[in-house]
Amino acid sequence: MTKSKGSIKAAFVVAFMVCLAEIPATAQTAAARPATINLPRTADGKPNFNGIWQVLNTAASDIQDHSGQLGMPPGQGVVEGGEIPYQPQALAKKRENLANRLTADPTEARCFLPGVPRATYMPYPFEIVQTPDSMAIRYEFAHALRMIPVNGSKHAEGIPPTWMGDSRGHWEGDTLVVDVANFNDQTWFDHAGNFHSDALHVVERYTMTNPDHVLYEATIEDPKVFTRTWKMSMPLYRRVDKNVKLLEYECVFYLQEERYKNAPFK
């Protein structure tokens, strides 16, 4: 009896150590995600991004490091390397935007569509809708919407510039890569006045690191405004609340209700 008890204890120790060996180290980059994390997958074998996601940072206020102020929580920046490489005349424009942001921020002051990637890190949830040929992202903020064909199609030609860009997706292994072009120059990257021109080109990468987290990276290219490409990155967190559902934040409607409540004026 004593001998078999010892054998069972040894078996548990070995089994426990095998399990420990399979637990990945915490600081993993996307490329080094161990194959043993089992992601939810769709019928066509891709990581299943369907669901509601949201950021937990304050990039919408300022994508760079910022201290707290009344009404604005502090945040560590999402810009890799910290610097946004403005051309000199563009830096002056950023400073002017910052000074005028209460009336000049197209999204906060006027409820215009936030563009990409700002829509990702607005402090509102968004829903990824994924099918094999076609994806969409529905944003609670201002019911912004992006359609993302994943069918090998190229950017549309001969259409006017857009607020949310023309998105075309493809897979690189388990990473969803979305190429976004044909922007207008009407959106800002944040409430701190960081901005772009109509030459903006964004490449997003969505990499699911475990079932409830996505590493989101956005490479920014705009030869009219910046001296080189630069990149933002941040985690997306799955909203696992019971019965969670995207609701409506009808920014334009609320703004109209406030500004025109005593209409007519003339």
Partner 1 sequence: MKTAAVLIAIMLLASTASAQSATSAPVKASTSARLSDGQPNMQGLYTRSGVKALEAEPPFNPIDPGDKNPLSVSNRGDGLGPYPRIFGEGGNVLRGQQARVQRPTGIIFPADKKLPWRPEEDAKRRQYLLDMNPPKDLRHIELNSRCALPGLFEGEDGNNPYTILQPPGQVVILYDYNHTSRAIDLNRREHLGKNIRLFMGDSIGHWEGNTLVVDTTNFNGRVAYSREIPYLSEDLHTVERFTVVNENTIDYEVTIEDPKLFTGPWKVAGAFARASKDVESLEFACAEGSQTLQNIFGTPPAR
* Of residues 40 and 68, the one with the C-beta less far from partner 1: 40
DSSP letter for 33, please.
-
| Positions in 139-178 near partner 1 (CB under 8 A) | 143-145, 147, 156, 159, 162-164
d(CA 135, CA 178): 10
Sign of CA dihedral 125, 83, 192, 227: negative
Of 30, 233, 236, whose CA–CA distance to 128 is shortest?
236
Of 240, 38, 48, whose CA–CA distance to 131 is shortest?
48
| Positions in 194-253 near partner 1 (CB under 8 A) | 243, 245-248, 250, 252-253
Rounded to a whole number of angstroms, the minimum distance from the CB of residue 220 to partner 1 is 20
Tokens describing residue 3: 């001998």
* Of residues 1 and 88, the one with the C-beta less far from partner 1: 1
Q: Which amino acid is at 150?
A: V
Tokens describing residue 12: 């548990």
8-47 footprint of partner 1 as x/- string (CB under 8 A): x-xxx-xx--xx--x------------xx-xx-xxxxx--
d(CA 207, CA 211): 11
Query: Under the rule (CB under 8 A), what is the footprint of partner 1?
Result: 7-8, 10-12, 14-15, 18-19, 22, 35-36, 38-39, 41-45, 50, 103, 110-113, 127, 129-134, 136, 138, 143-145, 147, 156, 159, 162-164, 243, 245-248, 250, 252-253, 255-257, 259-266
